[in-house]
Amino acid sequence: MITILAGTNRPNSRARRIANYYRTVLTELGAESQILDLAELPADFVATALYANVGSHPEFNRLAAMLDAGPKLVIVVPEYNASFPGVLKAFIDGLAYPGGIAGKKAALVGLSSGGQGGLLAMAHLTDVLMYLGTAVLPQRVRLPFINQDLNAEDGLNHDLSRQLLREQAAALLAF
C-alpha cells in the first residue's frame, strides 16, 4: 500500500487533485494506494493531538495510522511562502517520535503557481524527512505553473508533466 499525502489542509486543493491523478497512475502500474488528505485534519489538532496529547485524538490517530499501512508514500507538496505548508509540518510533528515515518520511502511532487514548481518546498521537506529517517527518492517532480497545467477534469495538460509523474511512480515502485 502506498499512501499519497495531499500536503495542505486547503479544501479542494490542487495538491488533492494531483494526488487523485497520481493514484490513477499507480493503479495503472498495478499498485495499491490510498489518499491521506490533510483537509481531513481536525481544526483543533495542534492543541488536541500534539505534544502532551500525542496519541489521544482519535481522528488525528486515524490519519496518522494511514502512514503505517505500507512502507512507501508520495507527498504532494504545494509551495507556500517559499517552503512547504505549516500544516504539513504540524502533522509531521504530531507523529510518534522517534518512529512516525522513520524507515519509509518517499517520493515528492512539488507544485506552485510560479515557475519554481515547489522546488524550495521540496528542499525544505527533504531535510525534515531525512532527519526523521525517511529515504527520499532522488527523482523529485516539479509542477510549475500548476494553474495552467491542471485542467478541470483533474488531468494534466502537459505531456512532460504526465511523463515525469509516471516515471517517478515507476521509480518509487522499484525503490
Residue 40 sits in a domain of what CATH number? Answer: 3.40.50.360
| % of the chain at pLDDT higher than 90 | 85
One DSSP character per residue, 127-166 reads HHHHHTT-EE-S--EEE-SHHHHB-TTS-BS-HHHHHHHH
Residue 56: band (very low, low, confident or very high) from pLDDT cuts 50, 70, 90: confident
pLDDT at 51: 82
The separation between the first and the last C-alpha atoms of the chain, rounded to the nearest angstrom, is 14
How far is it, in rounded angstroms, from Cα 46 to Cα 121?
21
How many domains is the chain partitioned into structurally? Answer: 1
The Cα 108–Cα 148 span in angstroms is 20
**For residue 57, what are the domain limits?**
2-174
Q: Residue 1: is its pLDDT beyond 90?
A: yes
pLDDT category, 108, cuts 50, 70, 90? very high
Mean pLDDT for the stretch of residues 33-42? 96
| pLDDT for the residue 96 | 84
- Mean predicted lDDT score pLDDT of the chain: 94
Q: And the C-alpha cell for 143?
A: 509542477
**Lowest-pLDDT choice from 20-24, 50-54, 78-82:** 50-54
Exposed, middle or buried, 56 (CB in 10 Å: 0-12/13-18/19+)? exposed
**Which of 6-15, 47-56, 115-124, 145-154 comes out lowest in average pLDDT?**
47-56
Grouping H, G, I as helix, E, B as strand and the rest as coil, residue 168 is helix
